[in-house]
Amino acid sequence: MEILDNRLQDYLDAHTDPEPDALQKINRDTNLRVLKPHMLSGHYQGRVLSMLSKIMQPKLIVEIGTFTGYSAICLAEGLADEGILHTIEVNAEMAETIEKNIKSTNVEKKIRLHFGAAEAVIRDSDWKDIDILFIDADKQNNFTYFELLIDKVRSGGLIIIDNVLWKGKVYGDDKDTDTQKIRKLNEQISVDTRVEKVILPIRDGLLLIRKK
Query: Over 80: is that where the pLDDT of 209 sits?
Result: yes
Flag whether pLDDT at 21 surpasses 70: yes
Identify the three-state secondary structure at position 160.
strand
Q: Which residues share a beta bridge with 207?
A: 161, 199
Between residues 38 and 104, which one has the greater pLDDT?
104
What are the sequence ranges of the domains in the chain? 6-211
Residue ranges of alpha helices (H) inside the chain are 6-14, 21-33, 42-56, 70-76, 95-103, 118-124, 142-149, 177-190
User: Using one digit for the tens of pLDDT, what is the confidence trace for 148-167?
Assistant: 999 999 999 999 999 999 99
> How far is the C-alpha of 130 from the C-alpha of 59, rounded, in Å?
8
- Return mean pLDDT, the chain: 95
State which fold the 6-211 domain adopts: Rossmann fold (3.40.50)
Residue 1 pLDDT class (50, 70, 90 cuts): low
pLDDT tens digits for range 169-179 = 999 888 899 99
pLDDT at 2 over 80: no
